[in-house]
């Protein structure tokens, strides 16, 4: 059983003697001064299970801030990030994202880094807005999932990263296909062909790429027609006048 540092208990006693009526913070410090690190973590887990995330974060944050280099302190830091992720609103997801990124950057050799990278990607994944909206979050999710797969291919989180990466790549591929179709409607056939080329080269394993292959024949035919018309126009312009 790991015990808290003696200084924590001394601090609590000294602070408690300075006021007749204990405030909530002092009551909290008095409580954790009598607990082991594992007990504090378990208390946070109990509150989190009851969806009392703010209260749970108080216990987790105490450990994470007091013992940042201890395995239990690092676990607590991840629990803080998880508690924000569980709330699922945009503000909480953003906060969770920052904390998972901070963990992965601060502790590159920690055995839980693959998990932190996966969760960082999940935060972005949850905030993606579809193939025809801002793709920033989708691209961030893709980069994070690729890190998990490339750096930790044998980890328990790699398979989840691969599955989510496939979904994100489909969004990105559908974006390219949609722009290609938009160019086709405008008669911008060369632009459409460039998008279809990019789609086939970068997302060959997606449904969007299969759809792109089906429309490529029409696009190539239109480009050939355009080039033939342009060549004929140039030849006519080159003929001597009169």
H or E stretch at 237: helix 207-238
pLDDT at 7: 47
**pLDDT score at 152:** 97
pLDDT along the chain (242 residues), means of 10: 48 48 84 93 95 94 94 96 91 95 94 96 90 87 96 96 96 94 93 94 95 91 83 72 62
The confidence score (pLDDT) of residue 242 equals 56
- Tell whether pTM > 0.75: yes
173-204 in b/e form (b: 16+ CB < 10 A) is: bbbbbebbbebbeeeebebbbbbbeebbeebe
Q: What are the boundaries of each domain within the chain?
A: 1-82, 118-124+138-223
Q: What is the pLDDT of residue 230?
A: 74
Helices 53-66 & 37-49 angle (0-180, nearest 10): 160
CATH of 118-124+138-223, one of 1.25.40.10, 3.30.930.10, 1.20.140.10, 3.40.50.300: 1.25.40.10
So what's the pLDDT on residue 18?
Answer: 47
């Amino acid at each position: 059983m790991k015990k808290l540092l003696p200084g924590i208990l001394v601090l609590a006693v000294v602070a408690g003697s300075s006021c007749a009526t204990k405030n909530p913070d002092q009551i909290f410090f008095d409580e954790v001064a009598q607990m082991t690190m594992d007990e504090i973590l378990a208390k946070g887990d109990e509150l989190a299970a009851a969806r009392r995330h703010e209260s749970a974060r108080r216990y987790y944050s105490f450990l994470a801030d007091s013992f940042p280099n201890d395995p239990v302190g690092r676990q607590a830091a991840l629990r803080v990030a998880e508690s924000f992720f569980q709330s699922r609103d945009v503000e909480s997801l953003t906060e969770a994202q920052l904390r998972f990124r901070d963990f992965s950057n601060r502790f590159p050799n920690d055995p839980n880094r693959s998990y932190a990278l996966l969760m960082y990607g999940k935060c972005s994944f949850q905030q993606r807005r579809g193939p025809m909206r801002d793709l920033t979050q989708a691209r961030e999710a893709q980069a994070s999932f690729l890190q998990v797969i490339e750096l930790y291919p044998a980890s328990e989180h790699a398979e989840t990263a691969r599955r989510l990466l496939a979904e994100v790549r489909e969004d990105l591929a559908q974006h390219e296909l949609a722009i290609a179709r938009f160019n086709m409607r405008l008669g911008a056939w060369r632009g459409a062909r460039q998008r279809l080329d990019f789609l086939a080269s970068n997302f060959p394993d997606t449904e969007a790429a299969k759809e792109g292959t089906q429309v490529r024949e029409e696009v190539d035919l239109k480009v050939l027609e355009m080039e033939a018309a342009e060549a004929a126009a140039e030849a006519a312009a080159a003929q001597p006048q009169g």
